[in-house]
A and B are shown apart, each in its own frame.
Chain A
Amino acid sequence: GQNIDQPTEMTATEGAIVQINCTYQTSGFNGLFWYQQHAGEAPTFLSYNVLDGLEEKGRFSSFLSRSKGYSYLLLKELQMKDSASYLCAVSLNTGTASKLTFGTGTRLQVTL
């Protein structure tokens, strides 16, 4: 079966740095995505890692270690608008498809 774990909730201060971890146990791994989801809205794409290492995109960076089944999302210079759920999703290669298996999400609260 597929198992993806991430913390349920995190709190951080505006301007700080926060790291959201994700561990996974899956078969047919084809890449790992991070999505941001504000309450009542659809998930929006943040990052994609298919090879080991760090991918940086502005204030957001994502890291992947395939051998450890581990990823993290790093958010720098936190802003109040970053308060949202952050979803870790593993892309599974099922032949012609790459369906996403999501974790339960980490609800991040940014405070003053």
Chain B
Amino acid sequence: DTGVSQNPRHKITKRGQNVTFRCDPISEHNRLYWYRQTLGQGPEFLTYFQNEAQLEKSRLLSDRFSAERPKGSFSTLEIQRTEQGDSAMYLCASSLSPGEEQYFGPGTRLTVT
């Protein structure tokens, strides 16, 4: 257990539905990252927060995806109008400062049917 928690751990949804995932980082970490990982691939960067500010978004993050970190603590990732191609493991990570190791949560596995 790295101290980063994610909920839910698994989510099965039908195509077209909206889903929201939550990440609680290590409390003193002000940097929070979202990644997506598909089978046989390494994690791919989606977006990054420093405190409550979203400072970078990958081009992978289409307009159906939105992430927030309203109080600089937990973060949510919402996917609207899910598609089968959104099926993946969504990983959250946090770090204390740039260049330091990122601690990953257990991930939320999304299956879109």
Contacts and interface: CB of A to CB of B under 8 A. Distances in A.
Interface of A: 4, 30-31, 33, 35, 41-45, 48, 50, 87, 89, 91, 93-105
Given A102-B43, A104-B42, A41 B106 contact: yes
Interface string B98-110: 1111111111000
Given A31-B99, A43-B43, 6 more contacts: A30-B98, A42-B107, A94-B56, A97-B31, A97-B48, A100-B43
A44 B106 CA distance: 10
B56 to A, nearest CB: 6
Contacts of A31: 99
B42 A98 contact: no
A50 B98 CA distance: 12
B103 A89 contact: no
Contact of B106 (A42, A96, A98, A102): A42
Interface string B39-62: 011111100101000011000000
Interface in B1-60: 2, 4, 31, 33, 35, 40-45, 48, 50, 55-56
Chain A interface SS verdict (over half): strand
A99 B31 CA distance: 10
B67 interface: no
Interface residues of B, number: 27
Contacts of A33: 101-102
A102 B42 contact: yes
Given A42-B104, A42-B106, A42-B107, A100 B45 contact: yes
Contacts of B50: 96-97
Contacts of A99: 33, 45, 48, 56
A35 B91 CA distance: 14
A104 B41 contact: yes
